Structures are given as structure tokens and as C-alpha cells.
Amino acid sequence: MSDQIIDAFEAEHLDTAARLFVAVFNAAPWNDSWSEASARARLADVVGTPGFVGVTLVDGAELGGFAIGHTEQWFTGRHFLLQEMCVRADLQRKGAGTALLGALEAHLGDVEQIYLLTEQNGAAHRFYQHRGFRAAQRTGVMTKRIPLTP
């Protein structure tokens, strides 16, 4: 990691981050269908959220990864929702994700808990488990599709 620098995620990173997001999440195992425009809009939504915190990993001159989300108040204290974490394919399984998480935790100050959503039983799930994350015992994710109105 000698040529890698971790720094704060800033609004000027949005275009480069959107391209990386598309490259990572449109590939296996996710096989999503993000366009650069939809990815940029997604990331801009996160960056514009009150309590935003994010970090980038620059590898040489290129963006190698990022982790972004926002803090929020709970009755027990401050929590952080890790909304997106993305590491370039050639840097995965080489410590880049672990470095990003460590840097993010260092930026969080008075936050007592991080939570996130990820695909069950996949590589990302195992990655987070190996870094101390556990499935929440009292909460689950529920979804409902609603019809689009013209």
C-alpha cells in the first residue's frame, strides 16, 4: 500500500467515483445495470445527506476505492450507515477495503456503531464478518414494490 493514499471523499470525486461504482457493481457477483448518470445521482444523494462522511483510497493517480455514508442519532448515541463501499477489482483481497474501513472508523469520532446492508452469504458479507460485523439480531430488511405513477 505504499503508493496508496487515503483521504476524505469530496464532491469533486463524484464523477470518478461514479465510473468506479459502475465498473465494480455491474460486474460479478452483483451484475447490476448502473449507468454513469444513475451511479453519480446515487452517490450525490449520499454526499448530500446531513452527517455525510466518506473516505477515498487513491492508488497511484487513480481512485482505487471509497466508503461513504452518514451519521445519525439513535437513542443510544450516534450511528453510521455505510451506504456504499467500492474497491477497484484489481485491489480487492489486497488490504484496500480493510484500509478504507479503518480510515472511515478513524473519521467517525463519537459514532458507537456502524451498520450496512449487503448481499447475504457472498464475498462482501464474509469481508464484513471478518472485520467484526455481525448480523443484527433484532432487525431485518423489509421491502415493498410500489407501482410507478405516470
User: What is the average pLDDT across 129-148?
Assistant: 91
Architecture label for domain 4-130:
3-Layer(aba) Sandwich (3.40)
User: What is the average pLDDT across 96-111?
Assistant: 96
pTM of structure: 0.92
pLDDT (0 to 100) of residue 72: 97
| Banded pLDDT at 2 (limits 50, 70, 90) | low
Element containing residue 112 per DSSP (H, E) = strand 111-116
CA 119, chain centre distance (Å): 13
Q: Domain coordinates of the chain in residue numbers?
A: 4-130
**Is the pLDDT reported for residue 126 higher than 60?**
yes
Q: Is 101 exposed, middle or buried (0-12, 13-18, 19+ CB in 10 A)?
A: buried
Contacts of residue 126, Cβ cutoff 8 Å, sequence gap at least 6: none
pLDDT tens string 54-103: 999 999 889 999 999 999 999 999 999 999 999 999 999 999 999 999 99
